[in-house]
Structure 1
Amino acid sequence: MENSHSRSSGITEEPQAHSISIETSQNDILEARLREAEENAKNQSQTPKIQKVIFYLREQDDFHKNYEPKVVSLGPIHHGKPNYHLGEKYKLRLTNAFIKGSGKSMQDLYKKIKEKINELRTCFEEEVTEDYDDEALTSILLVGGCAILQYLYCATKNRFKELNIKTDSVAFGQQDLFLLENQLPYCLLTLLMSSSVKEKELRNSIETYIDWHVNVPEDQQSNWLSWRHCPRSKPQQAKKPVHLLDNLRTRMLHGPKYIPDGTVSKINQNIQNVQEYWQSYRNVQELKTAGIHLKRGKNCYLSEIKFTKQFLFRGQLHLPPIVVDDSTRPKFLNLIAYERCLDFENDFGVTSYISFLDSLIDEANDVKMLRKAQILHNFLGSDEEVAKLFNEIGNDLVPNIEIYRDVRSQIQKHYRSKWMTWIAQVFHDHFSSPWTFIAFFGVLLALALTITQTWYAVNSPQDPAITSAKT
């Protein structure tokens, strides 16, 4: 009986011991993971790393169209894919031209990058470069960096024909430069430029090329070669770009009153309140009906949106001019994707601008009015296409409510003033055409003359001769 009881007891105790062992093991694993997460948080770099587009954007149907290169892959993320075979040939042509013009040999440039490879590797997310050893990564960065710099140099000097690079490839390559997954560290470009005898020209070509994507035509009849120059002003806090896309973002947003980075904590207070507050905007046609008219801004910075009062019942919304073309969608989507990177602490300036513009544009007539005000320059196609573009880009965005707060408040204050809105409505309905105003003025003048004539007929002193004759 005892042996039987012992055996049965042994059978029941073994699973308990096994269960405790599993629990202990899982606890140890979890504790180790938590310690690792804490350590990673402490050691996280203040500079955002080059990485893939965040996971929930990758689920979109048109992801490949908007976020992946069309002609050329730059860097390790899309390296070696067969659909960039032609782009690889162009990269090698550009790299060869850069090396010949640099005054250095390929071995010299390779060595410089190889010496910095550990530092350069840390500019990328670990998963992006883990499949490449130092030799392979050095080669990728050398070819990609030289190709970018030579492309920008040729673009600003109009020298692509010398390399037998087709015009359509040049155009698509332009879009590929500003894709989040196609970026290379700016410190790599700086290293290569400083190694070249053309350093000054190369640096100027970057600034000129970025200017092309920030500046806009002077008027609607202008073409791509006629630009209104937005003056460069130094940033409030001098900060080296992370990559070309980061450089573009800074230049597009930067202005004298631009809110500096570090306001992220104010954004995530209450998503519902943010969305309700943002919905207080009206589209362009509603603004005009309420007496708020559009005015082209004095500079091109996206953060420079303001509201001013004109007379008692009229307001003006000042908006920076913008060019809309085939590159607008991928450019803004990748800028927004960059702002959404988890390691990039920023104020969501581009996201907030697109949300603002999306609220102003509901349909083609809104686009038409923006065009008439010389704020929006449509190189895309019909006004319907532009309206659809911004409505689609503006989907599912959570803007920073601190940006444009004063503008929103002033628009709301204008709307709350019933008598100003009523007067503006009367003028909009009855005097929107100069002919109706002239006709109204003519009626008032005729009425005034009639009243004056009647008054004189009744009150004018009678002739003395007539008075004596009557008597």
Structure 2
Amino acid sequence: MGPKGMTTVGATEDNRRVEILRTKSQESSVIITDDEWWISIENYNVDKTKKKPQIERAPSHLRKRKSYEGCIDPSVVSIGPYHHGKSEFEAFEKLKIPIAHKLCRFSRTSVEQLYKVVADLNKIACECYEEGSIKVDDDELFNRMMFLDACFVVHFVLIGVGFVIQVEVGEENEADARLEKSFYLVLRDLFLLENQIPLPVLTVLMKSMFPETPSRGERYIMEFLELYTMVSPKRSSPNPMKKFLAQMMGRSKRDQDEKKQKLEKALSTSPHLLHLMREQLIQPFVHEIKNLVTFIEESKSNFRESNIQESFRSVTDLKSAGIYFKPSQSGSFTDVEFISYHIFGTLTIPPFKVDHLTRPLLLNLAAYEMCPNGPSDFRITSFICLIDSLIDYADDVKELRKKRILINKLGSDEQLAQLFNNIANDLEPDPRAYADARLKIDKHCKYKGHIWMAEWIHKYFRSPWALLAFLGAILVLALTMAQTYFTAYPR
């Protein structure tokens, strides 16, 4: 009986465990047999007919991060279903009806007609949000919420671009006064990930307001984004001769047509305002290495040669290696380029401004990139990490300010340094981002001669007086040598 008996007893024990598990499964009304479990895996299929939500909630793990504290939930106004009905937004919720009334009067259409334009997009709008997270479970109530929110956003955009809707003195003007007083609080809320409204709802409402020129409303949306974006592109003054030649060659009209096509494409493909803002900030990496394999191979080669492979260093460290900074022309976050001139080098960085809206905007753009259905790249995240690596201390901020790369509207240089050091915590950039510039900087810094030359130039040419003193010393040395020579070899 020895081994055989033990096997029988073991089998009996196993059978009892299985029976207990099955009993518990039946009690919980979840009965999955082994065959069904295998079949469920083998026959698993992605439902391609089901549309992915384009307006998602911020990933839950971000809410636990200290850097995201106060940057996810709106502060004064709720847009969309995620924060709808909360008592803290009641004051601005009361403004939405007079604003909708004002837009109806301006467009010279009835409330029913303007409402129908939005209600016809009910299915598209519902599919934009995460399933099960819409608190408004009735289609009619959902449509009303969309209509009032869309009117509010459209009206705010028009205020932002300076378009004034003339009406009689009354409650509508009180709403305008309230919006103007809280303008930057509302502006902050409109670019939060969880506070978005489908862009098609906004564009169709704009077209209804300007039926004679349908693209006019769309231009106002783009102008609004350009006015309140972070980038500060360096624009050169127009050359009259170049402008005349461009008009003669028909280039001016062609440029306008291209700009119009880009506008139409951006508005037709962007799901919401936050995405459209992201498109304003980025372009395809201008100087990136697109092949990740090539990037890894070059990194390994560089590592073997120098025994060290670094990312971007701080501004102070780069400056000590003879690297200088200048603003790029485009203003795109992806327009970063490094050029080495053997003795020194220049790092071109897009100019941008930093104020109280910068932190929530950048963090919500980074959160958008982390969403399951968000953008497939991490271009904004990569830019945050780039600036964080360049800025360690207030002196780094000061240098970027002097070069007109950074416009500090936040406060002290120390505050701005802390801002980027805090928001970049736990963020991981795309390894391909700025890869070309990183590799070239590492190669430049590998040669010690560059550092010695930079220190020598900094020591003797840091000011006009230092330069004059250096030239004076050279002159005295030359005169002394000449005097010694003529003393030793008199004519």
What TM-score range do you get, normalising by the shorter chain?
A: 0.7 to 0.9
DSSP-derived class of the 1:304 partner: coil
Tell me whether 1:25 sits opposite 2:31 in the alignment.
yes
Alignment match of 1:306 (pick from 324, 329, 337): 337
Corresponding residue for residue 221 of structure 2: 206
Offset, 1:128: 2.4
Could you tell me which residue of structure 2 aligns to residue 292 of structure 1? 323
The alpha-carbon deviation at position 127 of structure 1 amounts to 2.2
In the superposition, the TM-score normalised over structure 1's length comes to 0.81
The yes-or-no answer on 1:216 pairing with 2:232 is yes
Aligned pair in 2 of structure 1 residues 409, 259: CA closer, same or farther (>3 Å)?
A: closer
Take 1:368 and 1:393, find their aligned partners in 2: how far apart are those partners? 20
- The residue that corresponds to 2:196 in the other structure is 183
* Deviations 1:61-104 (CA, angstroms, capped at 9, x unpaired): 56451111111100000001010011112333332222222232
**8 Å CA contact 2:397, 2:413 repeated in 1:** yes
Instruction: Indicate how the Cα distance of structure 1 residues 20 and 189 shifts in structure 2: closer, same or farther if over 3 A, else same.
Output: same
Of the candidates 355, 371, 377, which is equivalent to residue 341 of structure 1?
371
Structure 2 unpaired stretches of 5+: 1-13, 166-171, 236-255, 296-307
Aligned residues: 429
Q: State the 1:20 CA deviation.
A: 4.8
Q: Structure 1 residue aligned with 2:128, among 123, 126, 131? A: 123
Which of 165, 174, 180 is matched with 2:187 structurally?
174
Distance (Å, rounded) in 2 between the aligned partners of 1:443 and 1:62:
54
Cα displacement (A) at 1:38: 3.7
Structure with the greater alpha carbon radius of gyration: 1
Q: Distance in 1 between matches of 2:184 and 2:225?
A: 15
Secondary structure in structure 1 of the residue aligned to 2:88: helix
Gap change, CA 1:389 and 1:197, over 3 Å in 2: same
Q: Please name the residue that 1:246 is paired with.
A: 275
Cα distance in 2 for partners of 1:266, 1:136 equals: 54
> 1:293 aligns to what SS in structure 2?
strand
Mapped partners of 1:333, 1:408: distance in 2: 24
- Please tell me whether the aligned partners of residues 415 and 421 of structure 1 are also in contact (alpha carbons under 8 angstroms): yes
Does structure 1 residue 96 correspond to structure 2 residue 101?
yes
Counterpart of 2:239?
none
How many Å apart are 1:244 and its aligned residue?
Answer: 0.3
Q: TM-score, normalised by structure 2?
A: 0.78
Over 3 Å counting, the alpha-carbon distance change for 1:334 and 1:258 in structure 2 is: farther
Structure 1 residue 280, shift from structure 2 partner:
2.5
Asked if structure 1 preserves the Cα contact closer than 8 Å seen for 2:234 and 2:330, the reply is no
The 8 Å contact of residues 266 and 402 in structure 1, kept in 2 or not, is answered as no
Distance 1:37 1:150 in 2: 47
Deviation, 1:347, is 1.3
Aligned to 1:468: none
| Cα distance, 1:33–1:190 mapped onto 2, change above 3 Å | farther
Q: Deviations over 1:419-463 (max 9, x none)?
A: 1222112223443233222211110012112222333344353xx
Match of 1:5 in 2: none
1:226 equivalent in structure 2: none
**Could you tell me which amino acid in structure 2 is paired with residue 25 of structure 1?**
I
Contact 1:185 1:243 in 2 (8 A): yes
Counterpart contact for 1:297–1:321, Cα < 8 Å = yes
Match of 1:403 among 406, 428, 433: 433
Letter in 1 for 2:46: E
Partner of 2:81: helix, strand, or coil? Answer: coil
Asked if structure 2 preserves the Cα contact closer than 8 Å seen for 1:101 and 1:197, the reply is: no
Cα RMSD after superposing both structures: 3.5
Task: Tell me how far apart the structure 2 counterparts of residues 123 and 147 of structure 1 sit (CA, whole Å).
Answer: 19
Which of 438, 443, 450 matches 1:413? Answer: 443
User: In percent, how many aligned pairs have the same letter?
Assistant: 32
Kept in 2, the 8 Å contact 1:98–1:146? The answer is yes
Distance across 1 between alignment mates of 2:309 and 2:276: 28
1:279 to partner: Cα distance? 5.2
The answer on whether the counterparts of 2:287 and 2:434 sit within 8 Å (CA) in structure 1 is no
Alpha-carbon distance in structure 2 between the residues aligned to 1:265 and 1:140 = 49
* Displacement of 1:294: 1.1
The 8 Å contact of residues 335 and 350 in structure 2, kept in 1 or not, is answered as yes
Q: Deviations over 1:137-185 (max 9, x none)?
A: 1011111111111110111116499433253311100111100000011
Which ranges of structure 1 fall in alignment gaps of 5 or more residues?
Answer: 1-11, 220-230, 268-276, 462-471
Give the drift of 1:192.
Answer: 1.4
How far apart are residue 13 of structure 1 and its match? 8.8
